[in-house]
Amino acid sequence: MLKSKGSSQNEFEFVSIDELVPENHLLRVIDKYIDFSFILEKARPYYSEDNGRPTDPLILFKMMFIGYLYGIRSERQLEQEIKMNIAYRWFLGLKFHDPVPHHSTISWNRKHRFKDTNIFQDIFDEIVLLAINHKMVGGRVLFSDSTHLKANANKHKFTKEEVEVQTREYFEDLNKAVEEDRENHGKKPLKEREEVRETKEIRVSKTDPESGFMSRDNKQEMFCYLDHRTTDMKFNIITDAFVTPGNVHDSVPYLNRLDRQIERFGFKVEAVALDSGYLTNPICKGLSDRKIFGVIAHRRYHPTKGLFPKWKFTYDQERNLYVCPNNQELTYRTTTREGYREYKSDPKKCSSCPLLTQCTRSKNKVKVVTRHVWEEHKEKVRLNRLSNSGKMLYKFRKEKVERSFADSKELHGLRYCRLRGLEKASEQVLLTAACQNMKKIATHLARLG
């Protein structure tokens, strides 16, 4: 005869928390191979002696790590999970009857103690340095890309504002290059003109004004942030994570973030592999100046229908001219303020050309082909992409940085911003990336024994 077991919830047992956590549990492995004592040193400047009895910063950050490791989106839910999960309590060093810090403790520290500080960047950097010490980072081949994080904002609630177009840092270098090019071609220097402030109309979210409205082909329109990420080839350790509003182009922060990794971690970068969004003249020149082998995906251009694409016109570097499909020469005329050399055809020859209708629709029958003063660097990158080494590197890109993004979104809840504001989005991205690196370091060292 079947009998139900009597209730035993009120019985007392002598147990050890340590015995209840499996030896192969992720948190046990992380705790064994990662020394978190550096957090105390990083947080010490933000604590004062007369500040009462604050929560131990080690417990505070370990709570946050649990949330990012297991994709727990709500800090209120995180508190409840820690109360019930023995492994979480073990990781924090809490006994069965020890109170779990209130969820508001995390938000209070974020809003007051750690506001406008670099604590999250410092913690991320320390984890990268740990990976370097364990020889898990080569620093020679890097992969970069960006992905969007949907902001906690309704895309239909916005205002339209006129904002000034930010002048990019490379403009000074470009102006210098233009003047040198004009001088080399015997042209007069361009007249100095009054500073023109360009403006553009953008959508500004009412709920999260610091986010940016993203509108791209084949992608959902939304207010979002962009996670600009770099991973190392050796073990796919994330070496840089940087957040911008969603309307900032991928190429804008790239060179500065590359330089930061070189200076902060002492990388000797030999090659990088990037998506087509990075195929710009300044980035190609920047990689060339740094003697880095750049591999960047091809960007498809859409020429005017019915007219020859630019590649049909062959550039003769020795004579500094273009040759059209009918073997006529387009000679150099000037270099514009925007950095483009203009090559123009002879209208007398063009007027009787049988290919005129496929070449230009200009009324004066003159074909104009432009070439950027830094175009040679972009052509070098194109050749890199077609080389055997370039093909191999670009193939690895999707297995490295894109895999890293996939893990962030599938396993760590990085599809959506938990909080509002650029600083809070940066915290989420940096700590998520730090947790991904922790997992890789700990599991790798565990396999080595």
d(CA 34, CA 18) in angstroms, rounded, equals 18
User: SS3 of 372, please?
Assistant: strand
Q: For residues 378 and 222, what is the distance between their CA atoms, to the nearest angstrom? A: 32
Per-residue pLDDT of 177-191, as tens digits, reads 999 999 999 988 888
CB atoms within 10 A of CB 21: 19
Distance separating alpha carbons of residues 207 and 312, to the nearest angstrom:
50
Cα–Cα nearest to 283, from 144, 429, 137 = 144
Amino acid at site 235:
F
Dig out the tokens for 74 from the structure: 């709500």
Per residue in 334-348, pLDDT tens? 999 889 999 999 999
Does 411 score more than 60 pLDDT? yes
Q: Which of 62, 159, 152, 153 is nearest to 106 (CA)?
A: 62
For residue 299, what pLDDT is reported? Answer: 81
Distances from the Cα of 192 to the Cαs of 188, 265, 333, 337, 342, in angstroms? Answer: 12, 41, 20, 10, 20
Confidence at residue 319, expressed as pLDDT on a 0 to 100 scale: 93
Residue 130, pLDDT > 90, answer yes
- State what percent of residues in the chain have pLDDT above 90: 76
CA gap 273, 392 in Å, rounded: 10
pLDDT of residue 28: 95
Cα–Cα distances in angstroms (integers) from residue 225 to residues 133, 417, 425, in the given order: 32, 8, 8
Pick the residue with more confidence: 14 or 253?
Answer: 253
Under the banding of pLDDT at 50, 70 and 90, the label for residue 4 is: low
pLDDT at 253 over 70: yes
166: confidence class by pLDDT, cuts 50, 70, 90: low
Report the DSSP beta bridge partners of residue 352: none
**For 297-421, where are the alpha helices, taking DSSP H only?**
347-350, 356-359, 375-386, 388-411
Asked if pLDDT for residue 29 goes beyond 90, the answer is: yes
Is residue 197 predicted with pLDDT exceeding 90? no
Q: What is the pLDDT of residue 126?
A: 97
CB 377 within 8 A of CB 282: no
Dist. CA 238–CA 350, nearest whole Å: 55
Q: What is the pLDDT of residue 381?
A: 95
Confidence of residue 405 (pLDDT cuts 50, 70, 90): very high
Q: What's the rounded mean pLDDT across residues 123-148?
A: 96
Q: For residue 12, what pLDDT is reported?
A: 74
Task: State residue 5's pLDDT score.
Answer: 66
The stretches of 161-225 forming alpha helices (DSSP H) are 171-184
What pLDDT is attached to residue 371?
95
- Report whether pLDDT(167) > 60: no
State yes or no: pLDDT of 33 exceeds 60.
yes
Residue in the structure block whose two tokens are 């001219």? 321
Q: What is the pLDDT of residues 69-108, one digit of tens each?
A: 999 989 999 999 999 999 999 999 999 889 999 999 999 9
7 phi, psi to nearest 5 deg: -65, 135
Show the CA angle centred on residue 67, arms to residues 62 and 410, nearest 5°.
135
Lowest mean pLDDT of 162-171, 296-305, 410-419, name the range: 162-171
The pLDDT tens digits for 271-288 are 999 999 999 999 999 999
pLDDT reading at 3 higher than 70: no
Backbone angles phi, psi at 280, to 5 degrees: -125, 155
Q: What is the largest CA-CA distance in the chain?
A: 108
Burial 293-311 (b: 16+ CB within 10 A, else e): bbbbeeeeeeeeeeebeee
Q: Is 328 left (phi over 0), alpha (psi -120 to 50) or beta?
A: beta
Contact (CB, 8 A) for 196 and 206: no
- b (16+ CB within 10 A) / e for 222-232: bbbbbbbbbbb
Is residue 156 classed exposed, middle or buried when 0-12, 13-18 and 19+ CB atoms within 10 A define those classes? exposed
Rounded to whole angstroms, the Cα distance separating 66 from 73 reads: 11
Q: Which two tokens stand for residue 184?
A: 């080399």
Whether 57 has a pLDDT exceeding 80, the answer reads: yes
Has residue 142 got a pLDDT over 70?
yes
- Name the DSSP class of 100: P
The CA distance from 119 to 113, in Å, is: 10
pLDDT digits (tens, 9 = 90+) for 360-397: 999 999 999 999 999 999 999 999 999 999 999 999 99
Alpha-carbon distance values, 296 to 144, 271, 390 (Å)? 10, 11, 9
Q: Is the pLDDT of residue 237 over 90?
A: yes
| Averaged confidence pLDDT in the chain | 91
Q: What average pLDDT score do residues 399-426 get?
A: 94
User: pLDDT value at position 168?
Assistant: 57
